[in-house]
């Protein structure tokens, strides 16, 4: 017997070592590092001024040379004045036209392809903005957004075409596009502000940068998706490569491009409000104003106007994707309509009825304020404990534990260890390097603070989103109810629903976290529902055949199979939570968000740059880490 | 010519020449042999059909001939011009002036009206709009699509869509037409209509056609000569009658076995050459044997077969026919 046990014993020992060695390394490393560095060790910000001073100098230089240096006079200034001219040109035109002509155009563009409902929605949305007295601001925002979308298309289309034709170009572009999508848009504000100065231009350029990746990607995708036979047919009839591209591939890719872009428009509207921070005109300033005055009702009024702009752009844009020829109106009807519009312009201008008549103004929504105040006074029993729980039980202990109890090398070590386990040495090296950079430029405490807030918000969002997503995924009726609510949460600028949160919970980290949860849970719910729905029916059936209860099927089959998809949703949640950092900063969340706002307001270029760099690095770490986790969750057959 | 898909084409060809099977070569080198050492010549005005099961390399063959994929080894000659040696520009010229193709899944352009689909070949050549539309209208009329020129392809039925494909191919007035299973995606009845249509057109225009199909009946119906393709090789090349009366391999025999010979074979294919030509009762060389049956039943005297110039070339008697009928069963 003893001879038999000896060899079998060897294998378990090795197994055991292989399983537990990493954990031993972890515990050992933590103990050694913590012991040798001690608690409360502040990260030595050796490189604090390495970035800050030169960038401050650069900022000063930029400011004094903006009007004279050739880099500006021959490059940035022309770009800037061109973009600015386009935006104000569109804006001025919209305001020059009699208001009813603008409404009619919003109706007629979709209506010309018989999208009657879309046209009515677009026109109705515009009427709303006029009725509450925000017509001028709305036209400015419409102009800013249209110009940004136009520019994104003009730049993105050729890039996408290039990538579609040259696989190597696509490969080279991919990391750049990834980075552009990972970085929260407001991080661009400061450098753009440095180069372009205050006004519409940095806002438009930030929007363009934000919308460029989807435009490029969808153009590439759309072109590659064109049936290879059609492309081959074109080749076979002796078409040159450009002929095939412009006569066959591009036209066939148009619907894909347009559908994708209209999603982007919705997302990009969030930038409109923030753009006020760099001096953009439009609906952002009434929203910020109502935040400062704690006027929930007016905030909602202005927020809905932003949604209205989104709806107009979306409907108008979508109508260009309709190519069913039988839907088009006849040429005669078209000419008559144009004549009618011109007549409207002449009459409107002649009679002086250009401006939207004052009917109401946004004080129409003031009763909402009273409701919120009532809620504040009467729901203390609920809001107080909730707020205390988040601050006293979650936020403060976590932040202090990470910055004061643990020595910073321990945090870096544990993060590196986790990345190594999940993905491998490359990710671990990147993470450790990024964290050391953050520390060295003196952003350690602020970053941990932000990270803790983001993670708390993410956890809360996931706690809400995953069960809700599972429910929605399994129940069509639930989807019908939740779907529009999710749409609303995603399009209404988050600054709007942060106003009641501020009133209910007072200034601090809590309103920011609440707004972040509301905003960031949207993709969590959507993607979870998608994952649950995509579980192959066969697997579910199989489980049923074995007599599993619905609960067993859900927990044992549906959720595990949907797990990788759900994890991808978590990745999205984190990315959106990061985009909200600046919003939290506006309402007392402190940390990197507040510093971003402060740097913008006071033109602290060097400081703001460091803050931005820290945010970018955090975003990249979180993105890569969660993506790696999602990949690990894929069943082995799918990864092979 | 040879076409090998994969990284180590030379090694794959060596192995294949040494007599190894396609599966073995794939295992050993990771390369798929698409076309294996095929040589063929197509005569002007001839309809040459390549018939084989799915995966036998028919599409690869025709795509190589049209240079939609590059050959691994070999040469394609068109009127003495070497297509394989041409650069992009020269090849484009040849395609514009001399070649056309009709695809299995039509490969139409859904964003263009029928007439602009048909006129595409002329459009890329830079022909002006009036001229190319005029020409496209003529061709649309020929293929029976007048009145549909302003529709979009997806508004038409499958058969009509393939007529558009056909019109697009004919508008450029090509010397050589490639058809890659053009009717396979169509319903049987519509397929028959389209086959008849093609026969009618070919009678009028006499183009050189390379026609791919997996349907032996279609091959017999359309082809002047038929190549049976298997695993990238030609098993046999010949007229329908040759294939049926003398299948070279078991594989070819498999296909021919179910074909009713009296229906397919023509008088000239079964007749006794020379023989008893008294000229009293004459039939044409391209009459099918089936049509001769009543004549022979009514009178046992042999029939005289005349060629296109009405010269007697052979005879058919009851013995020939009964032999044929026996083998059909
Ligand atoms: N681009 C390609 N790369 C690799 N293998 C291919 C490619 N195209 C075709 N093949 C292979 O070549 C063989 C012949 O294909 P194909 O010519 O399409 O057959 P058919 O048209 O007779 O159905 C098949 O085994 C197919 O898998
Ligand atoms: Mg094929």
ipTM of predicted complex: 0.81
| DSSP code of residue B101 | E
Question: How many folded domains does chain B comprise?
Answer: 3
- Ranges of chain B whose pLDDT falls below 50: none
Which DSSP symbol is given to A356? P
A277 has a pLDDT exceeding 90 = no
Which pLDDT tens digit goes with each residue over A171-225? 888 888 888 877 777 778 878 877 777 788 888 888 888 888 888 888 888 888 8
Q: Are strands B312-316 and B272-273 parallel, antiparallel or unpaired?
A: antiparallel
User: Is the C-beta atom of B315 inside 6 A of ligand 1?
Assistant: no
For residue B69, give the ligand 1 atom closest to its CA: 1
Query: Do B154 and B116 fall into the same domain?
Result: yes
* HEC-encoded secondary structure of A339-372: HHHHHHHHHHHHHCCCCCCCCCCHHHHHHHHHHH
pLDDT of the residue at B275: 63
Rounded Cα–Cα distance for residues B6 and A107 (Å): 56
User: SS3 string of A438-457?
Assistant: HHHCCCHHHHHHHHHHHHHH
Question: What distance in Å separates the CA atoms of residue A343 and residue A336, rounded to the nearest whole number?
Answer: 10
Taking residues A48-60, what's their average pLDDT? 73
Domain ranges of chain A: 379-639
Count other C-beta atoms under 10 Å from residue A568's C-beta: 21
Of B101, B105, B109, the CB nearest to A236: B101
> Maximum CA pair distance of chain B?
67
Q: What is the pLDDT of residue A11?
A: 57
Contacts of B107 in chain A (CB under 8 A): 227, 229-230, 232-233
**Are both B17 and B69 inside the same structural domain?**
no
- Beta bridge partner(s), residue B288: B266
Q: How far apart are CA A244 and CA A531, in angstroms?
A: 38
Distance CA(A482)–CA(A472), nearest Å, equals 8
Express as a percent the part of chain A with pLDDT over 70.
Answer: 93
Asked whether residue B58 falls in the same domain as residue B18, the answer is no
User: Which residues, listed in sequence order, are joined to residue B305 by a DSSP beta bridge?
Assistant: B283, B314
Q: Judge if B246 and B320 occupy the same domain.
A: no
Instruction: Say which CATH topology domain A379-639 has.
Output: MetI-like fold (1.10.3720)
B92 contacts A237? CB cut-off 8 A: no
* Dihedral angle over CA of B67, B69, B73, B75, nearest 10: -10
Evaluate whether B181 touches B219 at the Cβ level (below 8 Å).
no
Q: How far apart are CA B54 and CA B153, in angstroms?
A: 27
Considering B262, B284, B305, which residue would you say is the last residue of a domain?
B262
| Of B139, B210, B221, B205, the residue nearest B179 (C-alpha) | B210
- List, for residues A75-90, the tens digit of each pLDDT value: 777 888 888 888 889 8
Task: For the beta carbon of residue A394, count every other beta carbon within 10 angstroms.
Answer: 18
pLDDT tens-digit series, residues B87-98: 888 988 898 889
Determine contact: B66 vs chain A, CB below 8 A: yes
Ligand nearest B181 Cα, by number?
Answer: 2
Boundary residue ending a domain (B262, B280, B308): B262
Greatest mean pLDDT among A238-247, A556-565, A628-637, B304-313? A238-247
| Residues in A touching B100 (Cβ below 8 Å) | 236-237
Query: Which residues share a beta bridge with B315?
Result: B272, B304
Choosing from B207, B236, B262, the residue where a domain stops is B262
Query: Got the DSSP string for A301-318?
Result: HHHHHHHHHHHHHHHHHH
Give SS3 for A267: helix
Q: B88 and B138, same structural domain? A: yes
B171 to chain A: nearest residue by CA?
A: A237
Domain co-membership, B107 together with B131:
yes
> Is there a single domain that holds both residue B178 and residue B320?
no
Q: Which residues have C-beta within 8 Å of that of residue A328, sequence separation ≥ 6? A: A112, A113
- The answer on B295 and B284 residing in a single domain is yes
| 3-state DSSP helix/strand/coil % of chain B, to nearest 5 | 45, 20, 35
Residues B270 and B219 grouped into a single domain: no
Helix (H) or strand (E) holding A554: none
Q: What is the CATH number of the domain that holds B282?
A: 3.10.580.10
Q: Kindly list the residues from chain A whose CB atom is less than 8 angstroms away from the CB atom of residue B109.
A: 230, 233-234, 247-248, 251-252
The burial class, CB within 10 Å (0-12 / 13-18 / 19+), for B272 is: middle
Rounded distance, CA B79 to CA A225, Å?
37
Cβ–Cβ contact A230 with B under 8 A: yes
Q: Are B82 and B220 within one domain?
A: yes
A233 to chain B, any CB pair closer than 8 A? The answer is yes
> Crossing angle, helix A99-111 and helix A331-351, to 10 degrees?
170
Domain shared by B7 and B28, yes or no: yes
The domain of B30 spans 1-37
Q: What pLDDT, on a 0 to 100 scale, did the predictor assign at position B179?
A: 93
Cross-chain residue pair B120–A237, CB shorter than 8 Å: yes
Q: Which atom of ligand 1 is nearest to the CA of B56?
A: 22
Mutate to test the pocket of ligand 1, among B60, B184, B233 (most ligand atoms within 8 A of CB): B60
Q: Which residues contact A17 (CB under 8 A, 6 or more apart)?
A: none
**pLDDT of A4:** 45
The pTM of this model reads: 0.75
Tally Cβ neighbours within 10 Å of residue B189: 9
Closest residue in chain B to residue A246, using alpha carbons only: B124
Q: What residue of B is the nearest CA neighbor of A239?
A: B124
- Within A535-558, where are the H helices? 537-545, 550-553
pLDDT of residue B237: 92
Residues B177 and B283 in one domain: no
Atom of ligand 1 nearest to the CA of B61: 17
Q: Is A270 exposed, middle or buried (0-12, 13-18, 19+ CB in 10 A)?
A: buried
pLDDT for B258-276, tens place per residue?
Answer: 777 777 777 777 788 776 6
pLDDT over 80 (residue A559): no
């Amino acid at each position: 017997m003893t001879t038999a046990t000896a060899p079998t014993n060897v294998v378990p020992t090795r197994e055991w070592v292989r399983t537990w060695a990493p954990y031993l390394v972890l515990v050992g490393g933590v103990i050694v590092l913590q012991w040798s560095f001690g608690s409360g060790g502040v990260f030595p910000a050796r490189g604090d001024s390495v970035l800050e001073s030169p960038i401050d100098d650069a900022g000063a230089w930029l400011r004094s040379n903006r009007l004279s240096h050739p880099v500006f006079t021959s490059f940035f200034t022309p770009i800037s004045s061109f973009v600015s001219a386009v935006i104000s040109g569109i804006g001025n035109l919209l305001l020059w036209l009699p208001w009813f002509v603008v409404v009619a155009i919003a109706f007629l563009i979709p209506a010309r392809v018989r999208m009657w409902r879309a046209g009515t929605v677009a026109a109705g949305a515009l009427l709303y903005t006029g009725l509450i007295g925000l017509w001028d601001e709305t036209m400015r925002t419409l102009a800013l957004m249209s110009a940004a979308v136009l520019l994104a298309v003009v730049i993105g289309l050729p890039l996408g075409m290039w990538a579609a034709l040259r696989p190597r170009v696509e490969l080279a572009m991919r990391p750049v596009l990834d980075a552009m999508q990972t970085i929260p848009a407001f991080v661009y504000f400061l450098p753009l502000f440095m180069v372009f100065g205050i006004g519409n231009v940095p806002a438009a350029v930030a929007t363009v940068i934000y919308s460029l990746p989807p435009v490029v990607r969808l153009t590439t995708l759309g072109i590659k998706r064109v049936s290879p036979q059609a492309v081959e047919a074109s080749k076979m009839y002796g078409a040159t490569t450009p002929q095939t591209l412009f006569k066959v591939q591009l036209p066939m890719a148009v619907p894909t491009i347009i559908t994708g872009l209209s999603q982007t428009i919705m997302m990009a509207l969030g930038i409109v409000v923030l753009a006020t921070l760099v001096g953009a005109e439009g609906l952002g300033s009434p929203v910020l104003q109502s935040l400062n005055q704690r006027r929930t009702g007016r905030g909602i009024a202005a927020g809905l106007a932003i949604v209205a702009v989104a709806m107009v752009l979306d409907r108008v844009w979508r109508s260009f994707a309709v190519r069913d020829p039988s839907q088009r109106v006849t040429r005669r009807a078209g000419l008559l309509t144009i004549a009618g519009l011109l007549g409207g312009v002449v009459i409107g201008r002649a009679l002086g009825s250009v401006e939207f008549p004052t009917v109401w103004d946004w004080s129409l929504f003031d009763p909402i304020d009273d409701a919120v105040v009532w809620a504040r006074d009467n729901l203390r029993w609920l809001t107080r404990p909730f707020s205390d729980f988040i601050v006293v039980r979650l936020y403060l202990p976590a932040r202090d534990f990470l910055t004061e109890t643990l020595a910073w090398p321990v945090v870096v070590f544990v993060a590196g260890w986790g990345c190594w386990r999940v993905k491998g040495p490359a990710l671990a090296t990147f993470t450790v390097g990024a964290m050391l950079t953050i520390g060295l430029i003196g952003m350690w405490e602020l970053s941990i603070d932000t990270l803790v807030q983001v993670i708390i918000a993410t956890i809360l969002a996931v706690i809400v989103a995953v069960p809700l997503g599972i429910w929605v995924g399994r129940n069509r009726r639930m989807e019908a109810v939740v779907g529009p609510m999710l749409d609303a949460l995603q399009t209404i600028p988050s600054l709007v629903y942060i106003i009641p949160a501020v009133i209910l919970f007072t200034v601090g980290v809590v309103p920011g976290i609440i707004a972040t949860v509301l905003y960031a849970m949207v993709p969590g719910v959507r993607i979870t529902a998608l994952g649950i729905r995509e579980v192959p029916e066969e697997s579910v059936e199989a489980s049923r055949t074995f007599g599993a209860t619905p609960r067993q099927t859900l927990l044992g089959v549906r959720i595990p199979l949907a797990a990788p998809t759900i994890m991808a949703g978590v990745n999205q949640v984190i990315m959106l939570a990061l985009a909200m950092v600046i919003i939290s900063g506006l309402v007392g969340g402190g940390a990197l968000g507040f510093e971003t706002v402060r740097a913008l307001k006071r033109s602290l270029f060097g400081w703001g740059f460091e803050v931005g760099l820290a945010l970018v690095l955090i975003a990249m770490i979180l993105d890569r880490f969660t993506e790696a986790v999602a990949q690990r969750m894929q069943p082995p057959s799918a990864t092979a | 010519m040879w076409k090998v898909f994969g990284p180590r084409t030379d090694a794959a060809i060596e192995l294949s020449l040494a007599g190894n099977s396609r599966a073995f070569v794939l295992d050993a080198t990771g390369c798929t042999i698409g076309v294996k050492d095929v040589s063929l010549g197509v005569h002007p005005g001839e309809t040459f059909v390549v018939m084989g099961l799915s995966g036998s390399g028919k599409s690869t063959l025709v795509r190589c001939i049209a240079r939609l994929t590059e050959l691994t080894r070999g040469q394609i000659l068109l009127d003495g011009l070497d297509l394989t040696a041409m650069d992009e520009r020269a090849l484009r010229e040849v395609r514009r002036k001399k070649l056309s193709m009709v695809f299995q899944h039509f490969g139409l352009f859904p964003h263009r009206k029928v007439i602009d689909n048909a006129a595409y070949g002329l459009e890329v050549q830079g022909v002006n709009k009036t001229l190319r539309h005029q020409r496209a209208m003529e061709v649309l009329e020929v293929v029976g699509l007048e009145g549909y020129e302003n529709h979009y392809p997806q508004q038409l039925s499958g058969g009509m869509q393939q007529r558009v494909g056909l019109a697009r191919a004919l508008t450029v007035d090509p010397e050589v037409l490639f058809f890659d299973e053009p009717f396979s995606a169509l319903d049987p009845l519509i397929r028959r209509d389209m086959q008849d249509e093609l026969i009618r057109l070919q009678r009028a225009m006499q183009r050189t056609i390379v026609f791919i199909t997996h349907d032996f009946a279609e091959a017999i119906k359309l082809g002047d000569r038929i190549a049976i393709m298997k695993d990238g090789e030609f098993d046999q090349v010949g007229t329908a009658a040759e294939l049926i009366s003398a299948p070279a391999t078991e594989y070819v025999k498999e296909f021919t076995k179910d074909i009713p010979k009296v229906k397919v074979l023509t008088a000239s294919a079964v007749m006794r050459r020379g023989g008893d030509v008294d000229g009293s009762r004459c039939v044409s060389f391209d009459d099918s044997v089936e049509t001769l049956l009543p004549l022979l039943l009514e009178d046992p005297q042999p029939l005289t077969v005349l060629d296109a110039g009405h010269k007697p070339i052979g005879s058919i008697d009851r013995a020939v026919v009964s032999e044929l009928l026996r083998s059909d069963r």
